[in-house]
Chains A and B, each alone.
Chain A
């Protein structure tokens, strides 16, 4: 054997339990990487075979066919064409589910034509009897000329057989049939195509021709062929029909399914969940329950993380010798890490709930119900999932748009997602609402503060839709929109799969957000603790000018506050003061706005530093301090109703999240779109905040 590790790729339709199988094979030895040049995550894991042999398993995103209609789906084709890649598969494992075997075999025949040894795995063995399915495995193996393995990923059965088959992959022969198919479609046409590059297989050339936009590198000149689009289309149709004829001939004697069995529960649940009125009510109820649980369950671990990092800073401050490095650690790095980790509870809970809805098959029903409603806004039913995810964090939400096949619908969804109220806005909202909105009951039962928060959520969502509508009418983007969504059978979600999903998404959030927020926190710390030459003199001048009436502690606080004013960031705040003044802000709030560009919630921490308060653990103090802050011009409160509302509106609209901008750049492969978000949302935020302040003042 040339290699000690066998490269295996898992490929299959969505909803076949492919990911369950991947989890069973690899356990926790998984990592998510990136395909070079492709934005989609690459999920990989090691799987122990016998006698110290090992397989590297790559889980390709689910796809119905090798002819992709979305970014997610295109990965399979790219991987199978990229023969020089170190992860190029030695053996392919096609995962099919027993109920939809016919449709699943289409992908199998397409994949087999690449000439790579291909094993067929039939999953959901535990469901076969219930659904009236019987399969003659020997017959199937004979006809398909490969190993066919029955498994139940859920019950962990048949996995060992699969491992043995993977280990002995070299005994499988490759079984490419496309030549025959091509002859049947149009022999002269394909002979001509072969002449374009005699060294390549006819299937490779055919895919190179039909999938020009997907295939990474091809040096062939297809100009003789690409003109006749209708012929191309016609031949693709023929290819598919021939494939199905072949599949039917294989399944005829080896597979039977009694379609009347096992459908009762499905049609019963469909009647409820897709009901024209009831379906929407159920969806609304589920949404409310999701938000409720995020708020109720997440606060305790969030407070815990907050305190943990607060006291960690304190402890380190107390134990390490004083100095720049200690300051960097306690005021820059630790709060920076804490600022990312604090969102884990909310994000994990939200992804847990979304994964339950997706695994159970319910989410497809939501897509079905919402599609028509979203369409006038240039969105698709599939945009609903990113928009819900956006209430936790825009980063995973933007990544969740990959299943939307129409580029225009996907782009609009990406562009408007940051309007949804994400968890980073909540600390800012919470403290401002507490200051400017009285805590009283309206209409007997509703708390006015709670209603304001709800109003901000509504504002975010409505603005997102309006923005989508405007983009829909103005964006001139070429895109082929094709909407089809599978309505999978309902099933009980597997806790193991869901936990894996939550782990994976949370990890990617921490890494994506962390690599942006952490360096910015350090940069901000530097700018706030360093300044031009006058900065170093602050202490001496201050000591000279002030009498000894202050206690040592008060003195230290005042010095800290004055130092900040003279630091680089203080200078920046003073510089932008004329710009933010019409919105009702002073230079201190201006600094908060600047630092918020790392992440919105930094606003509170910045104000705390500026108002020289130690730590932010005790929200009471920062709130009291903000309430007590006086506007020297008017003599009234700095955070009065007008300024507070203006700030709320600003935070609702402004694109203050570097991490999101970076993700949008990665997903759209262009700086144009994140810049549009930054500028567009910035202008909207500024103008709206200006109007609000001027009207309320």
Chain B
């Protein structure tokens, strides 16, 4: 299953209910909730950290955490690159 870390810049995904306890509390509190839409805005060199927009919150997280949050990939047509 894909995770936030597997999103390409411009792609969207939905955080799944399953395995939600691996989402750190702090991220959950910042709006990274199951069912929320995630957009990959930008990645730093070596894909780390990752700059995402989730539930209207723009945050940067490390790849290590991003790869723990499972999503369903929404095929994205308006993504660039």
Contacts and interface: CB of A to CB of B under 8 A. Distances in A.
A164 B60 CA distance: 39
B41 A100 contact: no
A490 B33 CA distance: 25
Contact of B45 (A236, A267, A276, A486): A276
B46 interface: yes
A64 B55 contact: no
B29 A65 contact: yes
A233 interface: yes
B37 to A, nearest CB: 10
B61 interface: yes
Given A67-B25, A67-B26, A368-B44, A244 B59 contact: no
Contacts of B23: 237
Contacts of B20: 237
Interface stretch (A167-175, A304-312, A477-485, A542-550): A477-485
Chain B contact residues, majority secondary structure: mixed
A205 to B, nearest CB: 19
B25 to A, nearest CB: 5
A371 B26 CA distance: 19
Contact of B31 (A103, A371, A488): A103
B58 A240 contact: no
A572 interface: no
A372 B45 contact: yes
A276 B31 contact: no
Given A233-B21, A274-B42, A369-B44, A482 B60 contact: no
B66 to A, nearest CB: 10
B44 A274 contact: yes
B22 to A, nearest CB: 10
Interface in B35-70: 41-42, 44-46, 48-49, 51, 55-62, 65
B27 interface: yes
Given A64-B26, A67-B29, A484-B26, A241 B58 contact: no
Contacts of B56: 99-100, 102-103, 257, 259
Interface in B10-30: 20-21, 23-30
B44 A64 contact: no
Nearest to A263: B53
B68 to A, nearest CB: 12
A65 B29 CA distance: 7
A497 interface: no
Contacts of A486: 30, 57-59
A245 B44 CA distance: 33
A537 B61 CA distance: 71
A643 to B, nearest CB: 44
B81 to A, nearest CB: 11
A241 B31 contact: no
A489 B58 CA distance: 8
B49 to A, nearest CB: 5
Nearest to A233: B21
Interface string A81-103: 00000000000000000011011
B62 A371 contact: yes
Nearest to B58: A487
A472 to B, nearest CB: 16
Contacts of B27: 484
A270 B42 contact: yes
A152 B25 CA distance: 31
Contacts of A371: 44, 48-49, 60, 62
Nearest to A259: B56
B60 A364 contact: yes
Given A100-B56, A381-B49, A485-B59, A106 B42 contact: no
Nearest to A245: B33
Contacts of A368: 42, 44, 49, 51, 60
Contacts of B57: 100, 103, 486
B49 A240 contact: no
Contacts of A488: 58
A234 interface: yes
Contacts of A244: 31, 33
B49 A102 contact: no
Nearest to A280: B45
A372 B25 contact: no
A99 B25 CA distance: 22
A295 to B, nearest CB: 31
A259 B57 CA distance: 11
Contacts of A237: 20-21, 23, 25, 28
A437 interface: no
A100 B59 CA distance: 12
A20 interface: no
Given A233-B21, A241-B34, A483 B28 contact: no
Interface of B: 20-21, 23-31, 33-34, 41-42, 44-46, 48-49, 51, 55-62, 65
Please name the 6 residue pairs, one residue from A and one from B, whose CB atoms are nearest each other, closest first: A487-B58, A65-B29, A368-B60, A274-B42, A103-B31, A372-B48
Given A102-B56, A230-B21, A369-B44, 15 more contacts: A69-B26, A103-B56, A237-B25, A276-B44, A371-B44, A371-B48, A371-B60, A371-B62, A482-B26, A482-B65, A483-B62, A484-B24, A484-B26, A484-B27, A484-B30
Interface of A: 64-65, 67, 69, 99-100, 102-103, 106, 230, 233-234, 236-237, 240-241, 244, 257, 259, 267, 270-271, 274, 276, 364, 367-369, 371-372, 381, 482-489
25 contacts: A64-B26, A64-B30, A69-B26, A102-B31, A106-B29, A236-B25, A237-B23, A259-B56, A271-B42, A274-B44, A274-B51, A368-B51, A371-B44, A372-B44, A372-B48, A372-B49, A381-B49, A482-B65, A483-B49, A483-B61, A484-B24, A484-B27, A484-B65, A486-B59, A487-B58
